[in-house]
Amino acid sequence: MTTDKRKVVLIGTGMVGMSFAYSLVNQGAICNELVLIDLNKVRANGEAMDLNHGLAFAKSNMKIYAGEYSDCKDADIVVIAAGVAQKEGETRLDLLKRNTEVFRSIITPVVKSGFDGIFLVATNPVDIMTRVTYELSRFGAARVIGTGTSLDTARLRYLLGEYFTVDPKNIHAYVIGEHGDSEFVPFSQVMLATKRVTEILEGKNDYCLDDMMKIEDEVRTAAYKIIEAKRATYYGIGIALTRIVKAILGDENSVVTVSAKLCGEYGQKDVFIGVPTIIGRNGVKEILELNLSEDEKKKFDNSVEVLKSAFEDINI
């Protein structure tokens, strides 16, 4: 993988993909070449033109253009934000099968191009589609990453910051598990700076555990509320993608709750799931295993089973 060039290829120029591209341009100095690939080539060209017209106001120079799968050959990262929408009356399994075929049509030409970088997946259900990418590409697990619960974690820190009247950057908390209904917050590990939130809740103050449960539920249902209000979510995940790309290209060794392959951590293996992970130039450097309580372990195991069952049903 070449990091001097810092080339990113985005596959899928829908709202999620373009929110990522727009965030990438505005944050500046993360990459210096961005290629847009879409089945609708006219749209990809139009999106590239639109972004280019704003470069005079951007923080740094960037080469942006609509390209082909052959452009993936020397890319550092290929971001996949493509996928099909769920039809009325269609089951989740049917949607998974259709998206698997879409991914097959994407990953095959990307690998054929000679691409040797990192796959970053945003398409939902992201944990399963990340595993699909891993199976189809035959890349090492460290080089296949999903956005996982990175956005959920950001939502959690924002809400806890509001609750405790503290800058969210000083809240150390994670949402782990499936990016979906079985995700959860291991409150035993939540810290406000260096103090455990469980200790704060035990003190004589207005804070209580019931409020924590409400916040957890608000995080879990946030996407539903946003979709009900505006039909889709895209800004938050676009910024989350940018954060992950920055961590990779900058070789930051930052901790992000991405969807990564477990190889014995938490007593599980052969599943991609959202967990705190050290991310650097070569992708996944290390999965940080949290010291979960017995109840939290059960919740995590349940989330694993949900994902394993769904993946097995698609018979890839």
Known catalytic residues are 179
Helix (H, G, I), strand (E, B) or coil at 241: helix
Residue 225 sits at the vertex; the CA angle it makes with 222 and 231, to the nearest 5 degrees, is 120
First to last CA, the chain: 28
Helix (H, G, I), strand (E, B) or coil at 271: strand
Number of Cβ within a 10 Å radius of residue 15:
17
Q: Which residues contact 157 (CB under 8 A, 6 or more apart)?
A: 168, 169, 171, 173
- Which residue carries 């392959």 as its tokens? 261
